[in-house]
């Protein structure tokens, strides 16, 4: 991924605790301008705290927040050039869409004419022109979400903070809004700092995902990196579905690392971290990367398995299989060998395996 | 609930409603009696007593006087009460529970005792008995009601509302006037009407702190001492109707504004 310009935001050694609970441990992070960064993690992992510290709603115990080269750690929210889209949108109920969007512009001291021009521009951009004179209670969930976005974008912030803004939308609308939001981000070319616990949402929209767990960063990378090369068991399990194979490291043979899983030798790409022969390792293999066939496949890794169940999922079949009594899931395009108890072969390439140390 | 209990419950309800409303109905009825004394039988009817109320300059003046006291004391109670409620709802600080307790105290002190205390205090401070002394005592008495109603409303204001305003560049003062105040409007209307009715209705404080001009309850009391006549019934009925209308209007407009503001 290309680093476009200087970072728009830097989090330097930030620690924050609430009473005895430590929400953030020594966090360091940079956000480049024009970047869509998602903070992903279970509730209580510290992702919202990070967002609130960036917005100025919480003061870190230690560390600094730098926005565009300026230390803003001590500045209140109204003096930071970042804006936030709240989880409940926090639209002002007694104001129309127009007044809501105008709020930040009026406080910037813009002229009436400049404010109207900016509102019209945003209304056209976010398809809100027909709803400018309605109050929030007369808008649908998706419309409210766009008003919240328009209001936050209006003062032209250096960075936009979004706190799970899609949580209140129904599933169908959500997918649509995800794509819309990504497009809006590309067109405004602003840094978006998005917080969610939904891994699918994170994968769909982000340039970069920061996975958090218990106040620490587990992994920081592109969606592809996180999905195919998870750095930890936590990341592998949190993002997508995966098979975690408990194996033993055997050694390097030629250009491949070989592990032993239930008596089957599996060849993988040598991982950066060196394992000692005999060490316990976990291998993550995504179900969709496993090919199921009746005969022994030509792939590097092939294992014999028995079909336990086959579930029709519409576009494909989800197979639950057993390899020497250990459960593995895989997908099949057609019900080739969907008979229960039938013996099949599973095959996958070495690049489909990622090794995780425990 | 079985059918029998339901019938029993509604009987009890209507009996209670009758018990409450019958005296009021009797009072209204007696105002139409064409005689000097109250009591059955009513042999002839007249509107003279009601016409008399509106023609009586003293009654009309006193009505205005009481209304003025109610409006001014309510205005003071609203400002002070909202101020206290907002202060107490913010961050926790040392002595908060004590302040809340002291704030609510005037609501539970017996009227006579607080009236005497006010009278003594007014003399010490050199406040003359009269309109301002009454307004002062009514305002103090009404503050707790404003605080309670406004605090209840304030507790339902999502934290994100103020945060969103701060985020968009508002300082705390702008947040208060543009976000908090509009949200509190229905509560303030409700508390205000309640305070006005309390003030309008108050006898003890007005009696102890009043000067030469009586408030309406004090005037009615004076009239009663010279004998029960249908005139008093007519005055009371007019007051009853006006306050009921005010109360119903406040309730309705409060509900309307709340409905707007609650989404």
CB distance from B165 to chain A under 8 Å?
Answer: yes
Residue A274 has pLDDT above 80, yes or no: no
C-beta atoms of A137 and B260 within 8 A: yes
In this prediction, residue A229 carries a pLDDT of 86
Cα–Cα distance, A43 to A212 (Å, whole number): 10
Whether the CB of B91 is below 8 Å from some CB of chain A: the reply is no
Q: Cβ(B130)–Cβ(B210) under 8 Å?
A: yes
pLDDT at A69: 85
pLDDT grade for A64, boundaries at 50, 70 and 90: very high
Please tell me if residue A94 touches chain B, with a CB cutoff of 8 Å.
yes
CA nearest A84 in B: which residue? B167
Residue B15 domain-assigned (yes or no): no
The neighbour count for residue B255, using CB atoms within 10 Å, is: 11
The set of residues, in sequence order, having a beta carbon less than 8 Å from that of B124 and lying 6+ positions away, is none
Give the domain range for residue B149.
47-261
Is the pLDDT at A349 greater than 60? The verdict is yes
Within a domain: residue B196?
yes
pLDDT tops 60 at residue A1: no
Q: DSSP secondary structure string, B3-27?
A: HHHHHHHHHHHHHHHHHHHHHHHHH
Omega cis (within 30) before B72? no
Residue B60 lies in a domain: yes
Contact A92 B174 (CB under 8 A): no
The residue of chain B with its CA nearest to that of A134 is B260
The answer to whether position B241 is within a domain reads yes
Looking at the 3D structure of chain B, how many domains does it have? 1
Closest chain A residue to the Cα of B180, Cα to Cα: A92
Residue in A83, A88, A135 nearest the CB of B158: A88
Question: Is residue A2's pLDDT more than 70?
Answer: no
| Gap between the Cα atoms of A139 and A283, Å rounded | 49
Instruction: Give B194→chain A minimum CA distance, Å.
Output: 24
Which of B99, B77, B101 minimizes the C-alpha distance to B90? B99
User: Model ipTM?
Assistant: 0.81
Query: Which tens digit of pLDDT belongs to each residue from A135-168?
Result: 999 998 889 989 999 999 999 898 999 998 887 7
- CB–CB contact B165 A87 (8 Å): no
| Predicted local distance difference test score (pLDDT) of residue B231 | 80
Is the pLDDT score of A4 beyond 70? no
> Does a structural domain hold residue B218?
yes
Fold of A241-357: OB fold (Dihydrolipoamide Acetyltransferase, E2P) (2.40.50)
Confidence check: pLDDT of A11 > 80? yes
Q: Which helix H or strand E contains B37, and what residues bound it? A: none
Instruction: Nearest chain A residue to B182 by CA: give it.
Output: A94
Is B82 inside a domain boundary? Answer: yes
Q: Which of A90, A93, A135 has the CB atom closest to B163's CB atom?
A: A90
pLDDT in tens, A82-106: 999 999 899 999 899 999 999 999 9
B161, B174, B262 ranked by CB distance to A90: nearest: B161
Q: Is B181 at the interface with chain A, CB within 8 A?
A: no
A125: left (phi over 0), alpha (psi -120 to 50) or beta: alpha
**In chain A, domain spans:** 7-237, 241-357
Tens of pLDDT along chain B (263 residues)?
A: 678 888 999 999 999 999 998 888 888 887 777 777 777 777 777 787 888 888 888 888 998 999 999 999 999 999 999 999 998 887 778 888 888 898 898 888 898 999 999 999 988 988 888 889 999 999 999 999 999 999 999 999 998 999 999 999 999 899 999 999 999 988 998 899 999 999 988 889 999 988 888 888 898 888 888 777 778 888 888 888 888 888 888 888 878 777 765 54
pLDDT score for B261: 58
Q: Check which CATH number belongs to the domain holding B126 and give it.
A: 1.10.3720.10
Fold of A7-237: Rossmann fold (3.40.50)
List the single residue in B with minimal CA-CA distance to A108. B169
What percent of chain A stands above pLDDT 70? 96
Chains A, B: CB contacts within 8 A come to 72
State the smallest CA–CA distance between residue B246 and chain A in angstroms.
Answer: 25
């Amino acid at each position: 991924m290309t680093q476009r310009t200087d970072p728009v935001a830097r989090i330097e050694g930030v620690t924050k605790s609430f009473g005895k609970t430590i929400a953030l441990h020594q966090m360091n992070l940079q956000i480049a301008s024009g970047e869509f960064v998602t903070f992903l993690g279970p509730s209580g992992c510290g992702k919202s705290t990070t967002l609130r510290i960036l917005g100025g709603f919480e003061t870190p115990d230690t560390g600094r927040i730098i926005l565009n080269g300026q230390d803003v750690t001590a500045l209140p929210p109204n003096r930071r050039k970042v804006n936030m889209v709240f989880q409940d949108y926090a639209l002002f109920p007694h104001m129309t869409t127009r007044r809501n969007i105008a709020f930040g512009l009026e406080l910037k001291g813009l002229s009436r004419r400049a404010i109207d021009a900016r509102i019209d521009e945003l209304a056209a951009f976010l398809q809100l022109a027909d709803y400018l004179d309605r109050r929030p209670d007369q808008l649908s969930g998706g419309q409210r979400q766009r008003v919240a976005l328009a209001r936050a974008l209006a003062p032209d912030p250096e960075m936009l903070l979004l706190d799970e803004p899609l949580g209140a939308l129904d599933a169908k609308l959500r997918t649509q809004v995800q794509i819309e939001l990504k497009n809006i981000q590309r067109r405004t070319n602003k840094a978006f700092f998005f917080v969610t616990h939904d891994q699918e949402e994170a994968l769909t929209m982000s340039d970069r995902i920061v996975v958090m767990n218990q106040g620490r960063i587990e992994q920081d990378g592109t969606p592809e990196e996180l999905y195919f090369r998870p750095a930890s068991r936590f990341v592998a399990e949190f993002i997508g579905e995966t098979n975690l194979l408990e194996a033993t490291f055997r050694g390097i043979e030629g250009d491949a690392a070989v592990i032993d899983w239930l008596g089957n030798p599996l060849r993988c790409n040598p991982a950066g971290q060196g394992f000692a022969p005999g060490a316990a390792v976990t291998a993550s293999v995504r179900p969709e990367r496993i090919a199921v066939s009746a005969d022994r496949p030509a792939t590097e890794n092939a294992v014999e398995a028995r079909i336990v169940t086959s579930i029709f999922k519409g576009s494909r079949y989800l197979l639950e299989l057993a390899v020497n009594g250990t459960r593995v899931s895989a997908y099949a395009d057609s019900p080739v060998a969907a008979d229960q108890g039938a013996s099949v072969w599973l095959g996958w390439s070495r690049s489909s395996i990622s090794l995780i140390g425990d | 609930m079985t059918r029998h209990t339901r019938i029993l419950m509604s009987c009890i309800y209507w009996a209670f409603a009758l018990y409450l409303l019958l005296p009021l109905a009797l009072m209204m009825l007696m105002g139409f009696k064409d005689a000097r004394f109250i009591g059955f039988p009513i042999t002839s009817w007249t509107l003279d007593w009601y016409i008399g109320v509106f023609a009586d300059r003293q009654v009309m003046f006193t009505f205005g006087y009481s209304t003025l006291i109610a409006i001014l004391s309510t205005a003071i109670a609203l400002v002070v009460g909202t101020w206290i409620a907002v202060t107490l709802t913010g961050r926790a600080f040392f002595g908060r529970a004590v302040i809340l307790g002291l704030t609510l105290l005037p609501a539970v002190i017996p009227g006579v005792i607080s009236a005497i205390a006010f009278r003594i205090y007014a003399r010490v401070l050199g406040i003359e008995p009269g309109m301002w002394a009454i307004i002062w005592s009514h305002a103090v008495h009404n503050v707790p009601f404003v605080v309670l109603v406004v605090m209840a409303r304030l507790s339902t204001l999502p934290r994100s509302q103020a945060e969103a305003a701060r985020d968009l560049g508002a300082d705390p003062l702008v947040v208060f006037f543009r976000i908090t105040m509009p949200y509190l409007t229905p509560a303030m209307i409700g508390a205000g009407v309640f305070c006005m009715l309390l003030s309008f209705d108050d006898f003890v404080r007005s009696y102890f702190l009043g000067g030469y001009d009586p408030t309406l309850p004090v005037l009615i009391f004076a009239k009663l001492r010279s004998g029960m006549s249908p005139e008093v019934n007519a005055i009371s009925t007019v007051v009853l109707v006006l306050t009921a209308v005010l109360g119903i209007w406040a309730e309705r407009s409060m509900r309307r504004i709340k409905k707007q503001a609650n989404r």
